[in-house]
Structure 1
């Protein structure tokens, strides 16, 4: 069954700067077209989308640039990334295109860092007046791990049945856009010809009228528990992650409240089925399943359900990975809920720091080459407050020494600690108290090779 069209170019890549014509050399434009780009490489950092050498915005995995409109002329479009340790931005892929007026162009950066591709799609631009009762939807297959897929788009409760798919597509192809009446729908992706082999299914979603959307099927994100990433991209460049309700969220639980004895954790007061039990200070659990939605989490002394230490309500979406940390001194405990980011970068390491040490209102973090004293060096990050996460950052893969000091001072709380970081490795580093209020410790969790 061949109900799709293939409107793409798998681009032969050009590494290096491609120079365009000057404005004076260009022919006169007769109109404009819409341009949109998506970063579909799961192990890539933010990718900058450029027209010639002018940036149209940077975007992270699964997200899009803000839509732009440009004259119907010939341009070279580029995707660049920043790699720590390299002198200039690295050009991943380029595509020369004669832009046609009143068209909408979608550039999907796909493949991998080692072998990137651009999937390019062109369609007539739809202008809505707001009175319509329908919407348009298309789908792009950019998942490197899947073969051919069948796509179903139906009302809730309608199971996939061979012959009812809206299209069958291969990697790099798009299901052409089609009109649908406003209402509730479920998107389902199965292996081609195997409706019983469900690879992805969305939650029930109400689709509103007068809009053009594209769903992009991407590789699995290690930061989430699901097997397929589905990202909804609007014509304006908005991005929405479409979660798969079959995959519950998960959490690691960390006991970081020095001076508090062993602890239990319950979800929604279900003390007969504890999330974690008898957890000692500085101990971290493996990933534990949670319930999607808004739930109450209660920490108690181990075995003492009648004496809650702290109880808080959190909303956690399907597929999310979290870390639930008990922090604070005895008598003032609190729950710190942080997103557990685990998506590595192919060409660098990544670092994620969390200050869970209640003895220190704020600390400075030094990350220096091995053997370098901190005396005359600037901090890697200054003023990491208690109960806060330092913004995630990419770092060059090499050997470092990690040192933690009081904020604004060179008073060492922990370190120097040897720290080797590899490409494709993400380190989640928790700063913890010790029994000595003038000394900190670090707990390092590694994700990656």
Structure 2
């Protein structure tokens, strides 16, 4: 009997919780406010947002927003924003201040600037009736080294010199949330008063009014931010919307490819894109060398590999899709007769609190490798120090977030039947905040079957 009673209570409380959320969409007499975090800290890690000690979001990655959470007690709130460090502990507060929240007002807490000089931008907007059936844009200037900006939301191919800007925004300020009609638009950003110097232009954005439905609108909060991705534009738009956050890259932004030669018996290599053999995409990449980061279209493409200076025979050829604003690393592995590739994407943004490294096992002699990161001077293997377990050949980890400091690095190998054997180390290794690296577990250039660790700086072009 008690079990049945408890079940009824749980259902009733859940119903009340649902009712509270529904009331929040049209609060009437209730004092409902809405609050969200938005991480635009240029060189910062994920962030923890709290109000009066309660979590708004914990571990919010760069370029994303938490979405609005409703609250029922308006007034002054203590806002604490802390970095989430590589060991998942919270660092000292970057922001510790009071912010007023009001009935039927959306409050966005945008952390901009850089880690050593963060800036809290508090954006407030009237809460609109749901569902959203019109188009609303609101812009925030979150660019570190740029004075006032003009923003244009205009028809394609419009002459900016004869068009009034949608808004002019001072650094770390924001516009009102403004209505625009359904239609086709391009967003352009220039220095204030200088329409001839275009810093950013978007692809074509199309908003279609569908009479049969009443939720075809959008409400975008758009942070104009520094571009840490690829492409020619210095700016990138980071969008917070009711349907989630996303980035708007500048028009024409493609992908990029970097080739590494890890084929033990291969000569220096050239690569060609989409069977265009008139000029190599990358050239003369010797063993254990990397090519420069080379722009390519964001599309499905074919990469052909040949000996440097030749177009025939093709030693290896492969297809894959290359995504916009992503740097792809393609590592050529195995001997020439069996050459294949290990290709993976990433975006190596520098984070001042992290030493970031990804490991790739490209040694034909190492079936499975594990990586230990121990206190400096340590030579023993300890499960607590294990950061990569049984990475097969050929494979790569994602970027690992590591606390800056001095360590003892040990790499082991095992086959499917053998015990773990140390193949590299212990070696002293220091991770510095802001570094982004790739470590290849690879056979040495001089030949032999004892692996070495080759470390590459992923922030180099």
Q: Same fold, TM exceeding 0.5?
A: yes
Instruction: Name the counterpart of 2:113.
Output: 111
Partner of 1:331, secondary structure, is helix
- 1:156 aligns with 156
Counterpart residue number, 1:425? 435
Distance 1:223 1:77 in 2: 34
The answer to which structure has the higher helix fraction is 2
Change (3 A) 1:433 1:204: farther
Partner of 1:198: 198
Query: Which residue of the partner structure matches residue 284 of structure 1?
Result: 290
2: CA distance, partners of 1:335 / 1:31: 59
Alignment correspondent of 2:62: 61
* 3-state DSSP of counterpart to 2:199: strand
Q: 1:243 aligns with which of 226, 240, 249?
A: 249
- In the alignment, what sits opposite 2:241? 234
Q: Distance in 1 between matches of 2:53 and 2:414?
A: 40
Contact 2:33 2:72 in 1 (8 A): yes
- Select 1:386's aligned residue among 393, 404, 410: 393
SS at match of 2:144: coil
Q: Is the 8 A contact 1:139 1:174 kept in 2?
A: yes
Determine the C-alpha separation between the residues in 2 that align with 1:41 and 1:224. 20
Aligned-partner Cα distance in 2 for 1:163–1:416? 64
Structure 1 residues 162, 94: closer, same or farther in 2, change over 3 A? Answer: farther
Q: Of 431, 452, 457, which aligns to 1:441?
A: 452
**Structure 1 segment 56-135 matched on structure 2, within 5 A:** 56-57=56-57, 58-74=59-75, 75-84=77-86, 88-129=90-131, 132=133, 134-135=134-135
Partner of 2:221: 214
CA deviations on 1:397-434 (whole Å, 9 max, x unpaired) are: 22223222115954122233332222222222122234
Change in 2 beyond 3 A, CA 1:327/1:239: farther
Deviations 1:110-154 (A, max 9, x none): 122112121001111123346x3x311111111111111100111
Q: Secondary structure of 1:265's match?
A: strand
> Which whole-Å deviations, capped at 9, do the CAs of 1:344-394 have from their partners, x for residues lacking one?
222332222222334333210122233210334532221223343323233
Cα offset, 1:48, TM superposition: 1.3
Deviation at 1:262, TM superposition (A): 2.8
Confirm whether residue 145 of structure 1 aligns to residue 136 of structure 2: no
Are positions 1:338 and 2:341 aligned together? no
Q: Which residue of 2 aligns with 1:11?
A: none
- C-alpha separation between the residues in 1 aligned to 2:110 and 2:414? 43
Unaligned residue ranges in structure 2 (runs of 5+): 1-28, 209-215
Q: CA 1:183 to 1:257, structure 2 compared with 1: closer, same or farther past 3 Å?
A: farther
Number of residue pairs matched by the alignment: 418
Deviation at 1:267, TM superposition (A): 0.7
Contact 1:245 1:319 in 2 (8 A): no
Structure-1 residue corresponding to 2:299: 293
Counterpart CA distance in 2 for 1:86 and 1:62 is 19
Distance (Å, rounded) in 1 between the aligned partners of 2:41 and 2:164 = 31
1:182-239 per-residue CA deviation (whole Å, 9 max, x = no partner) reads 3332111001111111111111222353221121111231676642121121135x11
Q: Does 1:180 align with 2:191?
A: no
Preserved contact between residue 30 and residue 72 of structure 1 (Cα < 8 Å): no
Gaps of 5+ in 1: 1-28
Alpha-carbon distance in structure 2 between the residues aligned to 1:400 and 1:109: 32
Structure with greater contact order relative to length (CA < 8 Å, sep ≥ 6): 1
The answer to whether the aligner puts 1:397 opposite 2:404 as a matched pair is yes
What is the alpha-carbon distance in structure 2 between the residues aligned to residue 169 and residue 424 of structure 1?
30
1:267–1:275 CA contact under 8 A, matched in 2: yes
C-alpha contact (below 8 Å) 2:377/2:428 kept by paired residues: no
Any idea what SS the aligned residue of 2:48 has?
A: strand
Q: Secondary structure at the match of 1:48?
A: strand
CA 1:145–1:317 in 2, change beyond 3 Å: closer, same or farther? farther
Q: 1:366 to 1:191 in 2, by over 3 A?
A: same
Structure (1 or 2) with the larger CA radius of gyration = 2
Offset, 1:303:
4.0
Report the CA distance shift for 1:97/1:220 in structure 2 as closer, same or farther (over 3 A): same
Give 1:309 deviation, angstroms: 2.9
CA RMSD in angstroms, aligned pairs only: 2.6
- 1:445 offset after TM fit, Å? 1.4
